Amino acid sequence: MRKAFRKIMSAMLTGVMSAAMLSGLRVMSASAANIQWKFDFGGNGTASGYTGVSASDGYHASRGYGFSSGTNVTNVAASGSGALSDAVQFKNSTPNGKYTFCADVPNGLYQVSVRLGNTTRTSVAIEGMLQIINMTGNGAYHTLQVPVTDGQLNICACAGKEGYPYSISALEISQISTQTHTNPTIWVCGDSTVCNYYPLNSSAQAGWAQMLPDLVSGSGWQVMNMAASGQYARGFVQGGQFTVIEKNGQPGDIYVISIGINDTNSKNNTTAEQYQEIITDMTKRAQAKGMRVILVKQQGRNGDCQRNPLLKSRWYNGTLDKVSAETGADVVDLFNLWQNDCLKKSAADVSKLYMDDGLHPNRAGATRLAELMYQVMNVGTAAVSDEPSVPDNPSAEITDTPAVHPASGYPLLQGDLNSDGRINAIDLTLAKRTVMNVSPYRYVQAADLNGDLKADFADIQEMIGYLTGSVTEFADTKYAASEQQYSQGVHESTNAGFSYKDYLNLDNNSESNVTFAVNVPYSGNYLCTFNIANGSANDRSMMISVNGGNDKWKQSFLTTGAWTTWEERGIVLPLNAGINQIKLQSNTAEGGPNLDYLMLSFTDEPVPAPYDPADEQPVTVQPVSDP
């Protein structure tokens, strides 16, 4: 027998509030302290349903909102209607959170929606960090999730383009949950081929990350696009765009780095070696937070697919392979994905995907680029709820599965909690949430990496070790007997010595049975080890079948001497890749032994010959009943 199961898996699975404050507060649901502020900034009256805020309204705790001390703002007109007919213009605010508008809120996660006044280009800092980059156009709108941990949300408009005014017309703050971290997020670093253009839903020019939210809609992911026109790698870090990613990024989040076009410009003075150093540094810092990093080789220009010979890459694309080799980050070759896609089109049709400059995608081009990225990113379905929890339905549907215990659902591969075919930082996030919360058995079973039939901090350490390379094997997978589909039996915890929270005691007759639903990564022979107790003096043998097949194997379960003495008994069985049913049918009037767990180990030992009734020898059975 060889203990190679885990090695092969490793290769395969890549308050109290004042009355004044309450006047601007609205209860959104009865299930939590969800609140909503709606602020109308400026001096031209207050729109219905809003709380008016003038430039002269300094912060005061009795009302719970206002401008921080020293903030220089003035009321200005705006070209919209209602709440958008006026605004407050910020004159000395900074991206790192000095001189802001303040709103007292309980700690939690909030949906923050911003409407600008008249603007050429404006960025927005929230909680002391740039979080919305370069909104353009009068009344521009953006919404995002923001965690608050200090009881107050701080926000300001700041320069998107030096020399131009920046203002806010309206602000809405709605509580999502009481958790103080963002839901699963795809963070994006990039330049003008990636960034947002406004209005987001109708701009003629678009960056591909602008179109990504439509593709992940309903999956539980949000997209935080921190890309900016003209940006380069060093500027992204030094300008503060990486700050919110590093602070708010959570284990299991995705960080996409698609930048480099402007790094090759001599004015930015970035050599290939410096570019590699900066990208490597960002990658490692994101990975230290438990995020999955995707490095993108950026798409080419209009006309590249008409070249002969074809280009293999542009800019500093090749340097990303070196970063990947050092850090283990994923690499997406968008250059060749895009070029191959364009080769299927005429030159005229390809031109229809670009702006006139031949570099920037238009809305149609950005949409197609986003589709290509989405297809290879393999983001799956993220776990999202009012509080951290594990989703009831992982992203990868498994069809034609056998019926299993209704409390279990289909079993998951060990370590692969989101069932996407590999173990990565997303699974680490789900494992942490499994440990923190009461989760369905199948998540606990999948998160159990050390073979103790529970999910706890030790398993988290195992997964971290796996992701960092210090752990190459997990303990063999175990399945608790009492969590399986069974007929004529009961859960029991009377007799000590079992490993799980309880064990399965089958009734004393030949009709009692249990079917284990198991999940294996590939077809082959597996040593199936059952932890059993048999206080009877007799062999409580059982007939075993796999996936309803005609072949049966008679498994002996000889006495263990006492009902509190638990011992392992094993048999090699053939299993198919995916989900299998292993059925144990009692073979005597005494029923089967008490069953604790089934453990699976890949092996090269042969499967024994199936049961042949002709081989039976007469056996004298002494009647002994279960205690």
Cite the active site residues. 192, 357, 360
Choose among 104, 111, 281, 313: nearest CA to 189: 281
Residue 530: beta bridge partners?
A: 569, 598
Which residue is it, tokens 């965690």? 147
Contacts of 613 (CB under 8 A, 6+ apart): none
Can you tell me the distance from the alpha carbon of 134 to that of 136, in angstroms, rounded to the nearest whole number?
Answer: 6
The secondary structure of 197-227, three-state, reads: CCCCCCCCECCHHHHHHHHHCCCCCEEEECC
Written as one letter, the residue type at 371 is E
Residue position matching structure tokens 């998540």: 443
Alpha-carbon dihedral angle through residues 235, 236, 238, 240, given to the nearest 10 degrees: 140
Give CA–CA dist 541/550, Å, rounded: 18
**Residue 502: which of 491, 513, 512 has the closest Cα?**
491
Measured CA to CA, the distance from residue 245 to residue 287 in angstroms comes to 11
β-strand 185-190 against 222-225: which pairing, if any?
Answer: parallel
Which tokens hold the place of 531? 């932890």
Strands (E) in 434-523, as ranges, are 477-480, 485-487, 489-492, 503-506, 513-520
Distance CA 601, CA 154 (A): 55
Give the residue carrying structure tokens 């606990």: 444
Structure tokens of 359?
A: 């570099």
The angle, 0 to 180 degrees and rounded to 10, between the axes of the packed helices 272-288 and 319-327 is: 30
**Is the Cβ–Cβ distance between 524 and 575 less than 8 Å?**
yes
Max alpha carbon distance in the chain (Å)? Answer: 100
Burial per residue of 551-571, b for 16 or more beta-carbon CB atoms within 10 angstroms, e otherwise:
ebbbbebbbbeebeebbebbb
Q: What is the number of residues in the chain? A: 627
d(CA 565, CA 222): 52
The secondary structure of 314-358, three-state, reads CCCCCHHHHHHHHHCCEEEEHHHHHHHHHCCCCHHHHHCCECCCC
